[in-house]
Chains A and B, each alone.
Chain A
Amino acid sequence: MKLVLKFEEKMLKEVALSDRPITIGRGPDNDIHIDNLAISTHHAKIYKDAGRVIIEDLNSLNGTFMNNQRITKSFLKIGDKILIGKHHILLDDTISGEAPAAGPKITAPKIQETVMLDAKARKALLDQALAAQAAGGAAAPAAPASRTGGTAVQAPVPPRVKVPTLAVISGKTDQPEYQLTSKLIVIGKSDMANIKLKGWFKPKVAAQITKRDDGFYIGKGDRVPSINGVPIGSPTRLNEGDIIEVAGVKLNFTFRD
């Protein structure tokens, strides 16, 4: 007898079922190793007992399902459908060839099944990401289970946060300065503008500043803003000390401690 691992109807692996238990999990030490965060490190095992095949869930987070029922331990028959994460396992009684001792790592398709983290897993993963940052590693951390002990990394010292700020040099606004904290900062007369312009005939949205991965960009609204006296064409990144002029106000962009 053998076990067949499938993903989305695609056959990924076959493992012969001998007298030794077959383990399934995300850890590389499993007989059936599935590299997907929906799978626990040691998720389930399948073994023979008195001529019958038994599947047992090893207290996994996301569960082992047999014919759409969550199970902890159950007899496994030909035709039963086992679901672990999004992978299916079937019992097959056709004669199998040699089982690969250490099969190739199963690579997930480009778009993997979405995994949600609970508070505990989220904290562990973020702590790990921060530790990697503190250790100077720019690479993405691997899945949590692949952390293989070693030296404990000290909690990182949070970097000093510099707050991007716009100070009003001239013109009528509702505040003398503004901290840029949201994704989209509107300069205009609208009640919802972040930087509210006062006075008659000011545009509802004169211009806007958007936060992107690499900084803050100013773009047109009803007016074309100028940076250091030069009118912008497309959205333009703001640099320390830039002077923005739009709709009769002059603003100074700086990063403050």
Chain B
Amino acid sequence: MDIAGRSDVGRVRGNNEDSFKLLPELNLFVLSDGMGGEAHGEVASALAVDTIVSHCQQALKNPGLPMEGEPRPDLTEKSNRLLSAVRLANRAIFEQSQADTNQRGMGATVVAIWVDGERLCVAHVGDSRVYLLRAGDLQQLTEDHSLVAEQVRRGIITRQQADQSKNQSVLLRALGIEETVDADAAEHVLIDGDAVLLCSDGLDRMVTDPEIASAILTNTGAQPAVDRLIELALENGGEDNVTVFLMRVQKVHDGFLLRLWRWLNGPLQQ
């Protein structure tokens, strides 16, 4: 697995409200975009990533650690743990903002992935995104919890109208606004050659999907691709903080039959 992550304040903002944490030893990667007056966005996003990472780490030591909220029967233990961590992050931000009137109203988006062999667990809230680049095709795996995305889903406005809407920054779901949050979680299978991208809206508002795909395809390593994506966001205006994480899947553990198949095929194909 080849991974890289980077955050940049951008060219307009005075402070960076994004936070991210990479735990390659656990294959756990978390990115959050905070919001709120003064420096409270940073507080919210840092609290989100710290809470998620620590809940997942604790669960590895103590698998009986209580889950936050109802586990979903259609998800594996690991995805449910990630979902639980996101819900817990919501509670942590909400409680801190309730306890300190200065921090009231702070919130954050989050995207978190946990890779378990060939299984990709994804959990998210808000408009930060997870993309999958497979066979040259870039696909967003998450649905933005924003007003404009909801309007597009309902067929009220087109994607082009959404990109020009003044309501682009209105989120329908975020961490820390209410006591509980409706977080999305999903599982996907990874295959050799996949690239998984996590980003804050400072990337996808500045850089088009084809530009993103091309930057990943033309830079073989994860780090040069991440550097190029940040550079593109800045070249196109850098109007917001931009955080990018990229994971290239080089080798996913193969099943016995597939290995046998390859071995049997090997001499024939030469």
Does B258 lie at the interface of the complex (its beta carbon under 8 Å from any beta carbon of A)? yes
Q: Which chain B positions have C-beta within 8 A of A114?
A: 33, 35, 127, 169-171, 174, 201
Given contacts A69-B102, A114-B171, contact A139 B189 (CB under 8 A): no
In the complex the two chains form, is B101's CB within 8 Å of A116's CB? no
Q: Which chain B positions have C-beta within 8 A of A85?
A: 37
In the complex the two chains form, is B177's CB within 8 Å of A116's CB? yes
Chain B, interface residues (CB within 8 Å), range? 35 or more
Distance of A201 from chain B, by nearest CB (Å): 6
Does B65 lie at the interface of the complex (its beta carbon under 8 Å from any beta carbon of A)? no
8 Å CB interface, B63-110 against A: 101-102, 104-105, 107
Does B228 lie at the interface of the complex (its beta carbon under 8 Å from any beta carbon of A)? no
C-alpha gap A117/B170 in the complex (Å): 7
Of the listed stretches A26-34, A42-50, A95-103, A123-131, chain B binds A123-131
Does B187 lie at the interface of the complex (its beta carbon under 8 Å from any beta carbon of A)? yes
In the complex the two chains form, is A129's CB within 8 Å of B139's CB? no
In the complex the two chains form, is B189's CB within 8 Å of A192's CB? yes
In the complex the two chains form, is B240's CB within 8 Å of A111's CB? yes
Given contacts A200-B257, A221-B135, contact A186 B188 (CB under 8 A): yes
Given contacts A109-B12, A129-B154, contact A140 B167 (CB under 8 A): yes
C-alpha gap A201/B135 in the complex (Å): 21
8 Å CB interface, A179-204 against B: 182-184, 186, 188, 190-193, 200-201, 204
C-alpha gap A94/B152 in the complex (Å): 49
C-alpha gap A27/B165 in the complex (Å): 19
8 Å CB interface, A186-238 against B: 186, 188, 190-193, 200-201, 204-205, 208, 210, 213, 219-222, 234-235
Q: Which chain A positions have C-beta within 8 A of B147?
A: 117, 125-126, 129
What 0/1 readout, one digit per residue, does chain A (61-103) give for beta carbons within 8 Å of chain B? 1110100111000000000000101100000000000000000
Does A113 lie at the interface of the complex (its beta carbon under 8 Å from any beta carbon of B)? yes
C-alpha gap A219/B132 in the complex (Å): 13
- Taking a contact as CB atoms closer than 8 A, the residue among A70, A108, A193, A234 that contacts B137 in the complex is A234
Q: Which chain B positions have C-beta within 8 A of A112?
A: 166, 168-169
Does A37 lie at the interface of the complex (its beta carbon under 8 Å from any beta carbon of B)? yes
C-alpha gap A188/B118 in the complex (Å): 13
C-alpha gap A111/B240 in the complex (Å): 7
8 Å CB interface, A1-30 against B: 8-9
Q: Which chain B positions have C-beta within 8 A of A157?
A: none
Distance of A122 from chain B, by nearest CB (Å): 5
In the complex the two chains form, is A210's CB within 8 Å of B14's CB? no
Chain A, interface residues (CB within 8 Å), range? 35 or more
In the complex the two chains form, is B152's CB within 8 Å of A86's CB? no
In the complex the two chains form, is B170's CB within 8 Å of A115's CB? yes
In the complex the two chains form, is B169's CB within 8 Å of A222's CB? no
In the complex the two chains form, is A205's CB within 8 Å of B191's CB? yes
- Taking a contact as CB atoms closer than 8 A, the residue among B13, B157, B255 that contacts A140 in the complex is B157
Does A110 lie at the interface of the complex (its beta carbon under 8 Å from any beta carbon of B)? yes
C-alpha gap A118/B150 in the complex (Å): 16
Does A138 lie at the interface of the complex (its beta carbon under 8 Å from any beta carbon of B)? yes
Does A119 lie at the interface of the complex (its beta carbon under 8 Å from any beta carbon of B)? yes
In the complex the two chains form, is A65's CB within 8 Å of B38's CB? yes
Given contacts A115-B171, A201-B261, contact A184 B132 (CB under 8 A): yes
Closest to B264 in A: A201
Q: Which chain A positions have C-beta within 8 A of B257?
A: 200-201
Q: Which chain B positions have C-beta within 8 A of A69?
A: 102
C-alpha gap A237/B188 in the complex (Å): 21
C-alpha gap A63/B154 in the complex (Å): 33
Query: What is the interface of chain B, defined by CB distance below 8 A to chain A?
Result: 12-14, 33, 35, 37-38, 101-102, 104-105, 107, 118-119, 127, 132, 134-137, 139-143, 147-148, 150-152, 154-159, 161-162, 165-172, 174, 177-178, 186-189, 191, 201-202, 205, 237, 239-240, 255, 257-258, 261
The 5 closest A-B pairs by CB, nearest first: A192-B189, A116-B174, A111-B239, A190-B189, A112-B169
> Mind listing 14 A-B residue pairs with CB under 8 Å?
A65-B37, A65-B102, A83-B38, A114-B171, A117-B147, A118-B178, A129-B151, A143-B167, A183-B140, A183-B143, A190-B189, A192-B119, A219-B135, A219-B137
Query: What is the interface of chain A, defined by CB distance below 8 A to chain B?
Result: 8-9, 35, 37, 61-63, 65, 68-70, 83, 85-86, 108-119, 122, 125-126, 129-130, 132-133, 138-141, 143, 182-184, 186, 188, 190-193, 200-201, 204-205, 208, 210, 213, 219-222, 234-235
Given contacts A184-B188, A188-B189, A210-B139, 19 further A-B pairs with CB under 8 A are A37-B170, A70-B102, A85-B37, A108-B166, A109-B239, A111-B12, A111-B205, A114-B127, A118-B177, A126-B172, A132-B156, A138-B161, A140-B151, A140-B161, A183-B141, A183-B142, A184-B186, A186-B188, A204-B255
